[in-house]
């Protein structure tokens, strides 16, 4: 028998964005239904950010054991128990899972339905024995690993981020298709845990970021023994008679083969739109995801889409940001529009790679006066003490010193980019950053030093030099 529900909000998807909308709505006493067909917490908790960072943390400990001589500590080759690493990963997931659980959200007052959802028409969603007729709907179904149509790939066992964290045994030689953040993070983690690793990338590895900074990361990864083959297309996959996997590739030097024992496909993400009945609801979508306005509204005015399924930047914190925009619009009737220029991102390799705002290349394309400011980790006292001197900060400002963007490559870059995300969001200038007092000794000082270098460059201008000379003469 069908049960009809008429909440104020119906959320489809129990990942980061959907949970944020549901929790906020419930906190304001708004009736809300949350539908999730899989695991609560979505990709981030179960297959993405959380398990990958747990593996990276384990791998970093192994790396430090090998490279402790500079601190006066005898280095040792760690005995890696890969099944214990797996247990660590799943213990971290289990520790966080209660925060995203059905029980917690039911306790908050959210009606949770664990089933697949689809639009019956423009005003109705069906899930199991329920028919939901809400005032507003929010689609937050996320994305899944994109498996490209490479000949033979469907006949060869391969992993994606949804399955790689279930392995109890270390791969002898992991071959990775895709040199983006997921591929490179897992490449370094597996290498540090004892696997041989080869990455095959059709374009440039970490190609979304500033090439001046990615060069620092790629140099480190290659120094650790990871083989990175850029501008190399995979044209076929097969299983040799002896076992393992063989890739047929085409690069600048012609055709070749790459062999390994295991294969990980990290070639991007695909929006989860299949089976949602979007056409029945009048919701326009394509292969990139659901089409939305800057306010995250779809072509059906009753329906919003947030996070990966909305076809933009695919990060957990973006889904949370979208959730805030939608809550403002639905509950408070406030105007809210996505501003992608303020979204930071981090690739958690070692060294880390972080960015927010405009790059140097984008500033050149925009035209007009701008400045590029840099400061290196090697000129930072804390970095010297930690022997973490690889990397630098790079700031882009307009002609008057307003901060347009920031990129950092080096230790703790992901933590340090927070300040610069605030600076870009609030349109601060180098004067603001040069005027604050950072504690000593911290690596964050590189940001202030880079800001102060703006005034050093200004002092080299002829007019400023003449003014300084005048002041000295009569001062």
| Distance in angstroms (rounded) separating the CA atoms of residues 266 and 259 | 17
| Distance in angstroms (rounded) separating the CA atoms of residues 321 and 301 | 20
**Predicted local confidence at residue 458, as pLDDT:** 55
Give the position of tokens 């970093």.
Answer: 60
Does the pLDDT of residue 62 top 60, yes or no?
yes
DSSP structural state of residue 348: -
Predicted confidence (pLDDT) per residue in 384-417, tens digit: 999 999 999 999 999 999 999 999 999 999 999 9
Does the pLDDT of residue 236 top 80, yes or no?
yes
> C-alpha distances in angstroms, 204 versus 3, 210, 301?
52, 11, 40
Predicted confidence (pLDDT) per residue in 324-363, tens digit: 999 999 999 999 999 999 999 999 999 999 999 999 999 9
| Distance in angstroms (rounded) separating the CA atoms of residues 34 and 13 | 7
The helix (H) or strand (E) run that includes residue 73 is: none
Give the position of tokens 């029945």.
Answer: 280
The helix (H) or strand (E) run that includes residue 106 is: helix 102-108
Q: Are 10 and 131 in contact (CB under 8 A)?
A: no
In this structure, of 42-46, 379-383, 428-432, 457-461, the range with the lowest mean pLDDT score is 457-461
Q: What average pLDDT score do residues 251-271 get?
A: 95
DSSP structural state of residue 67: T
Q: Residue 351: which of 407, 300, 390 has the closest Cα?
A: 390
How does residue 462 score in pLDDT terms, banded at 50, 70 and 90? low
Q: Are 68 and 52 in contact (CB under 8 A)?
A: no
Does the pLDDT of residue 471 top 50, yes or no?
no
Q: What average pLDDT score do residues 277-304 get?
A: 97
| Distance in angstroms (rounded) separating the CA atoms of residues 192 and 214 | 20
How does residue 456 score in pLDDT terms, banded at 50, 70 and 90? confident
Average pLDDT, the chain: 95
**Predicted local confidence at residue 469, as pLDDT:** 47
**Predicted local confidence at residue 467, as pLDDT:** 40
| Distance in angstroms (rounded) separating the CA atoms of residues 170 and 168 | 7
Q: What average pLDDT score do residues 456-464 get?
A: 55
**Predicted local confidence at residue 472, as pLDDT:** 45
Does the pLDDT of residue 299 top 60, yes or no?
yes
| Structure tokens that stand for 19 in this block | 């949970």
**Predicted local confidence at residue 138, as pLDDT:** 98
Supply angle C-alpha 19, 20, 26, rounded to 5.
85
Does the pLDDT of residue 460 top 60, yes or no?
no
How does residue 287 score in pLDDT terms, banded at 50, 70 and 90? confident
How does residue 466 score in pLDDT terms, banded at 50, 70 and 90? low
Q: Are 29 and 8 in contact (CB under 8 A)?
A: no
Does the pLDDT of residue 468 top 70, yes or no?
no
Beta bridge partners of 249: 234, 256
Does the pLDDT of residue 259 top 60, yes or no?
yes
DSSP SS3 for 336: coil
Does the pLDDT of residue 470 top 60, yes or no?
no
């Amino acid at each position: 028998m069908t049960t009809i529900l008429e909440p104020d909000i119906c959320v489809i998807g129990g990942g980061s964005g959907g949970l944020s909308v549901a929790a906020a709505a419930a906190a304001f006493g708004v009736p809300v239904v949350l539908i999730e067909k899989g695991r609560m917490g979505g990709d981030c908790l179960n297959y993405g950010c959380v398990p990958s960072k747990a593996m990276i943390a384990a791998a970093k400990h192994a790396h430090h054991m090998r490279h402790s001589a500079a601190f006066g500590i005898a280095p040792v080759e760690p005995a890696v128990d890969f099944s214990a690493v797996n247990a660590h990963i799943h213990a971290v997931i289990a520790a966080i899972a209660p925060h995203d659980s059905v029980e917690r959200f039911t306790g908050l007052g959210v009606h949770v339905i664990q089933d697949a959802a689809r639009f019956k028409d423009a005003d109705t969603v069906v899930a199991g024995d329920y028919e939901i007729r809400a005032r507003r709907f929010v689609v937050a179904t996320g994305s899944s690993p994109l498996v490209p149509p490479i000949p033979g790939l469907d006949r060869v066992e391969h992993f994606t981020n949804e399955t790689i964290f279930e392995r109890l045994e270390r791969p002898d030689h992991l071959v990775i298709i895709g040199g983006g953040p997921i591929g490179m993070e897992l490449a370094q983690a597996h290498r540090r845990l004892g696997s041989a690793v080869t990455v095959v990338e059709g374009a440039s590895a970490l190609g979304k970021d500033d090439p001046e900074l990615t060069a620092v990361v790629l140099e480190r990864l290659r120094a650790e023994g990871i083989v990175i083959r850029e501008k190399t297309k995979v044209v076929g996959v097969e299983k040799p008679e002896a076992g393992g996997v063989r890739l047929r590739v085409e690069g600048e030097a012609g055709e070749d083969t790459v062999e390994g024992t295991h294969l990980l496909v990290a070639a991007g993400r695909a929006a989860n739109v299949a089976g949602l009945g979007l056409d029945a609801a009048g919701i326009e979508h394509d292969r990139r995801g659901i089409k939305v306005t800057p306010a995250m509204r779809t072509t059906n005015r009753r329906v919003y889409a947030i996070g990966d399924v909305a076809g933009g930047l695919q990060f957990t914190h973006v889904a949370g940001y979208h959730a805030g925009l939608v809550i403002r619009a639905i509950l408070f009737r406030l105007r809210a529009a996505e501003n992608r220029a303020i979204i930071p991102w981090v690739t958690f390799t070692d060294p880390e790679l972080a960015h927010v705002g405009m790059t140097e290349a984008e500033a050149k394309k925009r035209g007009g006066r701008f400045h590029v400011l840099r400061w290196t980790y090697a000129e930072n006292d804390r970095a010297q003490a930690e022997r973490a001197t690889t990397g630098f900060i790079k700031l882009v400002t307009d002609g008057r010193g307003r901060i347009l963007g920031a990129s950092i490559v080096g230790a703790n870059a992901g933590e340090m980019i927070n300040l610069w995300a605030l600076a870009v969001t609030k349109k601060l200038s180098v004067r603001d950053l040069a005027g604050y007092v950072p504690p000593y000794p911290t690596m964050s000082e590189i940001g202030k030093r880079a800001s102060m270098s703006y005034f050093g460059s200004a002092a080299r201008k002829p007019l400023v030099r003449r003014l300084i000379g005048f002041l000295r003469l009569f001062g």
